[in-house]
Amino acid sequence: MKIALIGANGNVGKVILKEALLRGHEVTGIVHDISKVESKEDNVKFIEEDIFNEEGLLEAIKGNDIVISAFGPKHGDEKSLVEATKSLISTVKKAGVPRLLSMGGAGSLLVEGDIKLVETKEFPSDWKPIALAHGEALEQYKQEKDLNWTNLSPAALIEPGKRTGVYRTAEDHLVVNEEGVSRISFEDFAFAMLDEVEKPKFSRRRFTVAY
């Protein structure tokens, strides 16, 4: 499968790239600064492009089977995620790429009492701006009727770890383990994302993964 991966040089993007190549996919990695690319893998080419430049992004993604976005805004500029999402949706549709799969946030997931995680007292204040931005971005996707989109929210805690290939899914509710902890490794988040690429189960929906 031909995959255009936006943010291929980010913390999560690198792991998604690795998983996609491991499964034999052909990847176009779209990055903000190509001089920072470290990957020397075969079956991948890198293009320097800005997600806000629709004309350039269109050229970078056209001809692919799916676009995956692991775009993350700079700290302090979290609201730009919403504009980036609008640009991404518009460009994918213009390019005629059949599917768009993006990384979301955990803050808009529902917890006990059906309130959003970001609205709980325990939610770290430093993370609220990006959580709220991801929530707004999700609403942009939900308004789309002509785009085959999927938004994948991580667990409350996502960090480097092991690739086990074991995870649980839900749609709008936070997944927690027996101790009430919600976590996933970068590696298994990427595993779940590529599973969705290869065997779609959540078209035009958001879903989440955790142990």
Residue appearing with tokens 């649980």: 168
DSSP annotation of 122 reads T
The model's pLDDT over 75-132, given as tens digits with 9 standing for 90+, comes to 888 999 999 999 999 999 999 999 999 999 999 999 988 999 999 999 999 999 999 9
DSSP state string for 14-78: HHHHHHHHHTT-EEEEEES-GGG-----TTEEEEE--TT-HHHHHHHHTT-SEEEE---PPTT-T
Cα gap 8→47, rounded to integer Å: 10
Beta bridge partners of 1: none
**Whether the Cβ atoms of residue 45 and residue 53 lie closer than 8 Å to each other:** no
pLDDT of residue 112: 87
pLDDT of residue 45: 94
Question: What is the pTM for the complete model shown?
Answer: 0.95
Q: Which domain holds residue 133?
A: 2-210
Q: At what angle do helices 80-95 and 54-61 cross, to 10 degrees?
A: 50
If you average pLDDT over residues 201-206, what whole number do you get? Answer: 97
Q: What is residue 111's three-state secondary structure?
A: strand
**Whether the Cβ atoms of residue 13 and residue 27 lie closer than 8 Å to each other:** no
Measured from the Cβ of residue 157, the count of other Cβ atoms closer than 10 Å reads 12
The total number of structural domains in the chain stands at 1
pLDDT tier for residue 16 given thresholds of 50, 70 and 90:
very high
CATH number at residue 86: 3.40.50.720
Cα gap 55→76, rounded to integer Å: 26
Q: Which residues contact 205 (CB under 8 A, 6 or more apart)?
A: 150, 151, 171
**Whether the Cβ atoms of residue 131 and residue 101 lie closer than 8 Å to each other:** no
pLDDT of residue 6: 97
Question: Residues in the chain, how many?
Answer: 211
Measured from the Cβ of residue 45, the count of other Cβ atoms closer than 10 Å reads 9
The model's pLDDT over 145-176, given as tens digits with 9 standing for 90+, comes to 899 999 999 999 999 999 999 999 999 999 99
The model's pLDDT over 36-89, given as tens digits with 9 standing for 90+, comes to 887 777 889 999 999 999 999 999 999 999 999 999 988 888 999 999 999 999
Q: At what angle do helices 128-142 and 80-95 cross, to 10 degrees?
A: 30
pLDDT of residue 113: 82
